[in-house]
Structure 1
Amino acid sequence: MDSPKNKGMRDWLVFIRTVEAGSLSAAAKEMNITAGAVSKIISRLEKYTCTSLLVRDTHGIELTIAGRLAYNKALEITGLFGDLLEELRNPQKQIRGTLKLSVPVILAEFLANNWAQEFMEKWPGTQIQLDARESSELSQDVPDLDNLILRSGIPENENIVYRELPSLNIVLIATQEYIDKNGCPLHPNDLAQHNVFNLRHNGFGTTLKFRKGDESYETDNIGNYALSSNNHLSLINLCIEGKGITLGTPGWLKSTYAKQAKLITLMPEWTLEQVPVYLVWRPRKIYSPLFIAFRDYIEKKWIER
């Protein structure tokens, strides 16, 4: 697709990469070309379309109205062109090529890294690029949607495709050191007396919903003055240092990392509301054999975790 014979398509690919990188220099570095070459390509597109696509300043770039339209359409057109090449070059539907999987940081470090490596070992002609992301943004324009996203929380955009996976069980965790110093909560109401970190992430909120048999309990505004973060691992590391209580998962607690930290589950007789989990991607008319195989593989690994 980057061949000189496909200069028009290549120029649009450079435009897309520039928009996603946020600056001409960042895009040039990613593509291993000069910033001057990127600028020349963008100018060529603007001359060809007779309109301004980007506003450039010392802080980076910003799409014009025409640029936003061009970006969205270019994503669609280059995607279709990629599908065409896949059909022509891979008529036997072999599983090969490159695909990106975007997951939360903690999942990237403890599960998805092994999943991706295992898949590549099974299919030597493939390359999986694993990206850690914590952003809650998930619009039609998110570049990651060209590949595959594993995320918590119900997707709200009707223009994307998603597959619901088994929900995530969560528990409250702390170190024995913290419990010895601050006491052990026995009832959800006791959490008001503790430093409970707030995870600001898809599917998680400031309200924790507990159930014990027929009894249910909701605790609002926990940790008003405690640290909140959209990065789960940052809160877990503070928890390991004995600084407070945070959320964990039964599966993650089985990891070597968690066992070495000697974390314990609090109030095990109380069950917390599960967090919904989804695989998300952009709708396409044709999906490559690699995409289909990897999507189904990730679903299987999630179920087996």
Structure 2
Amino acid sequence: MEQLNGIPVFVEAVEAGGFSAAAKKLNLTRSAVGKTIARLEERLGVRLFHRTTRSQSLTEEGRFFYERCLRAVEEIRLGEALLESGRREVRGKLRVTMPVIFGRQCAAPILIGLLEKHPGLELDLSFSDRVADLLEDGFDLAVRNGPLKDEADTMTRRLATQRLTVCASPAYLEKHGEPLSLDELPEHEGIIYGKRDNHRTWVFPTPDDPWRAVLPRSRLRLDDLDAIRDAACDGVGLAWLPCWMVRDHVAAGRLRQVLKNVTPVVFDTHAVWPKSPVMLPKVRLAIDTLARELPPLME
């Protein structure tokens, strides 16, 4: 149908972030992408993109049209899912968004491992701590840590449970002593996670209070968990981190877990995907694999 001419190129240009990036993904020239968009604009009678010599951004009309095109794309994906459901081979591009550090160190290696077993599968992984809008941003799947917002247009599945622990280097503990209770934490140096003036308070569930907030002294505040772990290994102070981040360092003797008698904070990791009558086989494969392989990594 003539009405569909140019739609795939338009959607790819939006999702890829520009004509040049879309051209690479579609194996076209940038000029061909530009001419296709121009013909589509002429047929619709509106301008879809603001153009400069270096970039393109959606106009208000373009964003309105893109949101409607996504609905058509989802119907096409549903049709593909119905066809693929009878096939044994999983194929197609799977777009996944995940938190930066957790994604890079835990989730991404699991998903990348699927490529060898499924030659028809393509992965497009995005690492960001921003909570993406799956439909608007064109993602098939999200991996999210912590409490979830109530979203009527998504479905969820718990993948694993994470646990936070307080740890420090043997050198720090030898010099400053080991905290034996939460009451002793304010007497110690801590390496605090925070962005700008928003610092994360350390909280612990206790018998008398669902959440007890405790914060050690701190002369070092960092906005990167890897940097906090490295600073703890160097003896700067106590760190409050997910167990999976420090497991190898504890095993190697670079860090020691403390306050083992204190109930730790635990939180869940979920898979989130757009609600659909039929789950795409590639999405089901990714979720099932993550649900099977993530929990051992969290111990």
Query: Structure 1 length normalisation: TM-score?
Result: 0.77
**1:70 aligned residue (65, 73, 77):** 65
Q: 1:196 to 1:7 in 2, by over 3 A?
A: farther
* Residues 12-52 of structure 1: per-residue CA shift (max 9 Å, x gap): 23322322333333433444433323222222221122112
Deviation for aligned residue 1:160:
2.1
Q: Equivalent residue of 2:191, what SS?
A: coil
214-223 vs 70-79, which moves further: 214-223
Structure 2 equivalent of residue 238 of structure 1 = 231
Deviation for aligned residue 1:217:
5.7
Q: Is the CA contact (8 Å cut-off) linking 1:113 and 1:130 kept in structure 2?
A: no
Structure 2 equivalent of residue 134 of structure 1 = 128
CA–CA distance in structure 1, aligned partners of residues 261 and 296 of structure 2: 24
CA–CA distance in structure 2, aligned partners of residues 38 and 114 of structure 1: 34
Q: Equivalent residue of 1:195, what SS?
A: strand
1:289 and 2:281 correspond: yes
RMSD between aligned alpha carbons?
3.4
* Residues 129-186 of structure 1: per-residue CA shift (max 9 Å, x gap): 26252322232445353x2211112232332222234432111223223334554433
**1:176 aligned residue (170, 183, 187):** 170
Structure 2 equivalent of residue 3 of structure 1 = none
Q: 1:92 to 1:207 in 2, by over 3 A?
A: same
**1:298 aligned residue (284, 287, 290):** 290
Query: Structure 2 length normalisation: TM-score?
Result: 0.79
Q: Which amino acid aligns with 2:165?
A: V
Q: Which amino acid aligns with 2:286?
A: F
Structure 1 equivalent of residue 203 of structure 2 = 209
Q: 1:205 to 1:179 in 2, by over 3 A?
A: same
Percent identity at matched positions? 20
Q: 1:291 to 1:215 in 2, by over 3 A?
A: closer
Q: 1:25 to 1:91 in 2, by over 3 A?
A: closer
Deviation for aligned residue 1:206:
2.0
Q: Is the CA contact (8 Å cut-off) linking 1:168 and 1:275 kept in structure 2?
A: yes
Number of equivalenced pairs: 292
Unaligned runs of 5+ in 1: 1-5
Structure 1 equivalent of residue 259 of structure 2 = 267
1:11 and 2:6 correspond: yes
Q: 1:182 to 1:39 in 2, by over 3 A?
A: farther
How does 1:14-25 map onto structure 2 within 5 Å?
14-25=9-20
1:247 and 2:240 correspond: yes
Deviation for aligned residue 1:8:
6.5
Unaligned runs of 5+ in 2: none
* Residues 239-266 of structure 1: per-residue CA shift (max 9 Å, x gap): 33434433333344334x6644722212
Q: Which amino acid aligns with 1:106?
A: I
Q: 1:23 to 1:130 in 2, by over 3 A?
A: closer
CA–CA distance in structure 1, aligned partners of residues 213 and 37 of structure 2: 53
Deviation for aligned residue 1:97:
0.7
Q: Which amino acid aligns with 2:43?
A: Y
**1:55 aligned residue (31, 50, 63):** 50
Q: 1:253 to 1:135 in 2, by over 3 A?
A: closer
CA–CA distance in structure 2, aligned partners of residues 223 and 25 of structure 1: 50
